Amino acid sequence: VDPVLCDTVPLRFAPLAQLDRASGYEPGGRRFESCRARHMIVMHEAYMQAALDEAHRASAQHEVPIGAVVVVDGKVVGAGFNQPISTSDPTAHAEIVALRASARTIGNYRVTGGTLYVTVEPCLMCVGAIIHARLGTVVYGAAEPKTGAVQSTMHAFDQKALNHRVTVVSGVLEEECAELLQKFFRERRNKHVATG
């Protein structure tokens, strides 16, 4: 492992289990930084970028720009973007569309252990679908203070009565995800003001 590749990840991102790798670093006072942690960050950002690409597709169709991808064993098996307006379907959130696509791809409604990358914190409906699909991890970009059911308005995955647990990673490419939403609504407001 080339320690130079790890220079940009502060120790706070390094899991304690990776401290055994510190012996590979020069003893000249250089601080330890985990290559595994750096790999995870790069991986999360790459898949979140794919979700952002889906969000741009939503924006091009005048839908709220939210995108999602589902990854199983390092491969994208489903992708989707918000499309409730164009499909006249209130359940056509990016997460649901991506889960449906992934279930078709793998031939099973259970996407056991898969990871969902979504640009905005999932709502309660999408949390329910995530639980039913048996995803292992949800990675989201921007918080959703009005309807986000993962950490903002409630901690839905933490309900003891639920029969499935999901790992959550938040804030991946948060600025890019939030800016896309803000730009969309800013342009929408400006268009509304201009047309009266």
What is the predicted pLDDT for the residue at 36? 77
Query: What are the residue ranges in the chain where pLDDT is below 70?
Result: 1-33, 192-196
pLDDT score recorded for residue 33: 57
pLDDT for position 188: 80
Measured between alpha carbons, how far apart are the two ends of the chain, in Å?
60
Other residues' Cβ atoms within 10 Å of the Cβ of residue 131: 17
* pLDDT of res. 122: 99
Verify whether residue 187 is a known catalytic residue. Answer: no
pLDDT at position 32: 52
Q: Which of 95, 121, 174, 179 is catalytic?
A: 95
**What is the pTM assigned to this prediction?**
0.80
CA distance 37 to 142: 21
Q: Which pLDDT score, from 0 to 100, does residue 37 have? A: 79
| Whole-number Å distance between alpha carbons of 105 and 115 | 15
CB 56 within 8 A of CB 67: yes
pLDDT at 23: 46
Domains and CATH numbers, the chain: 39-195 (3.40.140.10)
Q: What CA–CA distance (Å, rounded) separates 129 from 95?
A: 8
